[in-house]
Amino acid sequence: MAHPIMFDEADPLLGRLRELALAFPDAAEKISHGHPAFFTTKVFAYFGGSVKVDGVHRQHERSVLVLVDPDERAVLSQDRRCYVPAYLGAYGWIGLDLTDDTDWDEVGELLDASYRRTAGRRRVAALDSRRPE
């Protein structure tokens, strides 16, 4: 049984996230468990997540989930905008709620960190070759 779609295609926050995520080398988008997922061979970001409290899932429909290094995750987990997502949190992922006031440079940095942890050396080298020295 397929998961229901859990996002609004017209959401401007999704549009901005999509623009940033798909700019990475070989990045593509698919729907995974009802949410947009951005990936190369491995997923590096999701739009939307949830937390499970007392057996009940609370949705964070307008958020980005990323995989960052443990030190950065520890710092982010202290930020009121962030949460440890159900299921993926056990594997090091963190969620950041998105709003109209989101700092998109920060989101870009988080996507970059997550991409670098999942994309492989060849793709990371392609990313680095794009940047001016």
Query: What pLDDT is stored for residue 53 in this prediction?
Result: 87
DSSP structure string for 76-105: HTTSTTEE--TTGGGGTEEEEE--TT--HH
Find all residues with CB under 8 Å of 74, minimum gap 6, and list them.
none
Q: What is the pLDDT along the chain (133 residues), one digit of tens a residue?
A: 678 998 999 999 999 999 999 999 999 999 999 999 999 999 999 999 999 989 898 999 999 999 999 999 999 999 999 999 999 999 999 999 999 999 999 999 999 999 999 999 999 999 999 876 5
Amino acid sitting at position 70: P
C-alpha to C-alpha distance for 28 and 10, rounded to whole angstroms? 18
The structure tokens listed for 5 are: 């779609």
> DSSP letter string over 5-69?
P-S-TT-HHHHHHHHHHTTSTT-EEEEETTEEEEESSSEEEEEEEEEEETTEEEEEEEEEEEE--
Nearest Cα to Cα of residue 111 among 16, 44, 37, 59? 44
pLDDT at 2: 78
Specify the CATH number for 12-125; select among 3.90.1010.10, 3.90.1150.30, 3.20.20.140, 3.40.190.10. 3.90.1150.30
For residue 9, what are the β-bridge partners? none
Would you give the DSSP letter of residue 1? -
Q: What is the pLDDT of residue 133?
A: 59
For the chain, domain boundaries = 12-125
